[in-house]
Structure 1
Amino acid sequence: MDDLQTEKVLYLEYLQIEKNASSLTIKHYEKDVEAFFLFMQTEGIPSIRDVDYPLIRIFLTRLYQQKLSRRSVSRKLSCMRSFYRFLEREGKVNHNPFINVSLPKEGKPIPEFFYEEELERLFSVNDLSTPLGQRNQALLELMYGTGIRVSECVGTKVEDINFTIGTILVKGKGRKERYVPFGQFAAKAMKMYIEDGRSRLLRNSDKKPDHLFLNAKGGTLSDRGVRLILDKMVEKAAMTVNIHPHKLRHSFATHMLNQGADLRAVQELLGHENLSSTQIYTHVTKDHLRKIYRDSHPRANK
């Protein structure tokens, strides 16, 4: 198994250095490779060269017996296909046994999003006289106003905000950067927070971080912290809806497309590499369909 561990380490270095993969992707792939190594051990397979198609079918059966989702199975297969592609390139194996293994088709669920009236209730719950209330309002306005991911939001620094032209420099997946515009509501909330609330939160910290969003102790706000903040907003608004940071991103994309935004423009704003990732937002709400009908059909308003 020592040789297997060596190949794993080399593969992870390849992902990090050459493929510029995110830390989360590397973490998932490391677990997936380890899981396959454990499967090899239980099946008495000593070498990566001994893996063949029939063995892979047994591996798939084991995965489905664990009642894993199709998404999880697809990711594990993608990982092993990539791993063996790396081994083949390095001359460690003669062929990739995963190359002809088909990935299970995934049904893409329609993303959850907020209706505009639900968002208005959330925007009204924060006490703007307090540092945390100002921070929470700026957080909500920025995430909904730009559609950025929660990881991108907590990674934002004050210097990334350009109020003159109304853009934010976003560090996305794979260390890719993009500029995303924000509107006057987000600008107003962030200015108030930076000039007042953030300055007061910094008094609680010795390190003085340069990140935009801070926690109550003046340190950098975490992904988990954002989720807790949103949960409290929903509780204050007396709403029964489920909330998660990505739901704001879904809402941004849905509302943009419903108002006639170009699909490729939304793709660029979201930082999606493939258009297919953005196309899940092309669904329309029932209210939007009703509005189109009322505005378009000659007898709709009779």
Structure 2
Amino acid sequence: MPKSTEVLPECTQLMDPGKLRPFLEAFTSRLLNLGHTRLTVSGYEASARHFGQWLQSTKFAITEIDDDVVRRFAQHRCRCPGSRQADRLSAKYVNRARRFIGFLVEYGAVTPSTDELPGVDLHEVQIVAFQTWLRRHRGISERTVRRHGRMVMRLLAGLGPDPKLYDARLVRQVILDEAQRSSRANLKTMTMALRGYLKYLATQGLCQPGLDQAIPTVPQWRLSALPLYISTADVDRVVASCDVTTPIGIRDHAVLLLLARLGLRAGDVSSMCLEDIDWREGTLCVRGKGRREIRLPLPQDVGEAIIDYLREARPPAAWEQIFLRAVAPHRPLASATVSSIVKLALVRAGIDNAPSRGANLLRHSAATSMLRAGATLDMIGAVLRHRSVDTTAHYAKVDIDMLLQVAQPWPGSASC
């Protein structure tokens, strides 16, 4: 059985990374700034040095680095100085080198190939341009941009590669075929993505305009369900479930308070930066969907929780975002992680009957609590940044006292 190889730590310096040396130094500094231990960084450094040494011996230029070069490095019969002689490198070892190459791409020393872009097929580079157009003109989150790219990629098998051949019959048939194997919610998202893609193609002159009108509407009663929320007492139990003696508990406590007191979305919390808080005025600038901005008052307990996190628990990492991962690499929290914080807090609080388990649960609960405390629908809509009054009026369904005042008697009980 062939052996894998690892660079011996004491022999790391025997390898000469050649022209990659300045990039290697910047790479190791980046890893240290992200919070990786020196032992972890030394492993990445060894793989990167080995790659640089092999690149010199094979006479490849830095600008020639691509997937084929990486495959050759992974498969070469290693006789490089400072390593165990072996017939192949381990997958983990090669992945460390790949991360270094990703750094070179980010640095601009290597040109990325289209298959290195997340969610994009090698033969469908048009999707990359579509996603760039979405970022520039639509004001949607990066998560939605990637999702729209994946959705359109799935539909291209039925649409075909040439947009000039698209017509209304084809567009409609593709959606009807997809309806046979997708849920209603997934199909609704798919039609939204395709509608945006066809509009993009039309603006670029790549297909006939107006094809987005041929996409059939997915039947769905808007705002037909009741808002999913928990009581104020349960919200307090969720917030109090955090162990504020640990860094993770301090962070989660601040995140939960932001969700519960201000009704923020998960994306609002994950993208929140230090410059968004005006400590002197006691306000918080929130940037939500569609690049809309609003400045909200910062409650005392929320501000104190954020200060505690910044002083005692936030890792020393050079990110503008406030909330970071607790373990290395110390990157900003993803929206999905914010929802996971809520899910784990519900478990700790012993709330087993929650109607949902994501960040929106606390958003709906905040809106319901404000309504029952006497806030008007206009005030709630301003705090939650709703575009439509109908969306805010959705919460009136749970105000039983108000509904009793406007309820009419059942005709069968009325006297003649």
TM-score, normalization by structure 1 = 0.78
The reply to whether residue 49 of structure 1 matches residue 164 of structure 2 is: yes
Root-mean-square deviation (CA, aligned residues, Å) is 2.9
Of 124, 128, 150, 2:240 maps to 124
Give distance in 1, aligned partners of 2:212 and 2:341. Answer: 43
Distance (whole Å) between structure 2 residues aligned to residue 258 and residue 175 of structure 1 = 30
Q: Name 1:211's counterpart in structure 2.
A: 321
Aligned residues: 278
Q: How far did 1:6 drift?
A: 5.1
Q: How far has the Cα of 1:90 moved from its partner?
A: 2.9
Paired residue for 1:26?
Answer: 145
Tell me: CA distance 1:94–1:121, structure 2 relative to 1, closer, same or farther (3 Å): closer
Give 2:174's match in structure 1, choosing from 59, 62, 65. Answer: 59
> How big is the shift at 1:264?
3.0
2:350 is matched with which residue? Answer: 238
Residue type at the aligned position of 2:138:
K
Say which of 208, 229, 234 aligns to 2:341. 229
* 2:187 alignment partner, one of 73, 91, 100: 73
CA drift of 1:100 comes to: 4.0
Counterpart residue number, 1:261 = 375
Cα distance between partner residues in 2 of 1:275 and 1:289: 18
In the TM superposition, what whole-angstrom CA distance separates every residue of 1:8-67 from its partner, at most 9, and x where no partner exists?
3433332222333321222122122222211134xxxx6323333332332222112103
Say which of 351, 361, 375 aligns to 1:247: 361
Q: Which has the higher contact order (CA 8 A, sep 6+)?
A: 1
Aligned-partner SS, 1:77: helix
Aligned residue for 1:91? 205
Kindly indicate whether the alpha-carbon contact (under 8 Å) linking 1:77 and 1:98 is maintained by their aligned counterparts in 2: no
Question: Would the aligned equivalents of 2:381 and 2:392 in 1 still touch at CA under 8 Å?
Answer: yes
User: Once the two structures are superposed, what CA deviation does each residue of 1:88-121 show, in whole Å capped at 9, x if it has no partner?
Assistant: 3333333423314441222333231111121122
- Equivalent residue in structure 2 for 1:162, among 268, 278, 293: 278
Partner Cα separation in structure 1 for residue 305 and residue 203 of structure 2: 51
TM-score (norm 2): 0.59
Greater gyration radius:
2
Alpha-carbon distance in structure 2 between the residues aligned to 1:123 and 1:89: 48
One-letter code of the match for 2:227? P
SS in 1 for 2:286: strand
SS of aligned partner of 1:241: coil
- Identity of counterpart residues, as a percentage? 23
Residue 208 of structure 1: how far off its partner (Å): 4.9
Q: Letter of the aligned partner of 2:155 in structure 1?
A: F
Question: In the alignment, residue 300 of structure 2 is paired with which amino acid?
Answer: Q
- Relative to structure 1, the CA distance from residue 14 to residue 237 in structure 2 (aligned partners, 3 Å threshold; closer, same or farther) is closer
| Residues 1:78 and 1:126: Cα distance change in structure 2 (over 3 Å) | closer
Where structure 1 has 5 or more consecutive residues not aligned to the other structure, the ranges are: 294-302
Q: Letter of the 2:249 partner, please give it.
A: G
Give runs of ≥4 in structure 1 deviating > 4 Å: none
One-letter amino acid matched to 1:251: S
Kept in 2, the 8 Å contact 1:156–1:212? The answer is: yes
- Taking the aligned partners of 1:87 and 1:124, their CA distance within structure 2 comes to 51
Given that 1:201 and 1:214 are in contact with CA atoms closer than 8 Å, whether structure 2 keeps it comes out as no
Does structure 1 retain, via aligned residues, the 8 Å contact 2:286–2:296? yes
Letter in 2 for 1:93: C
**1:22–1:175 contact (8 Å) kept in structure 2:** no
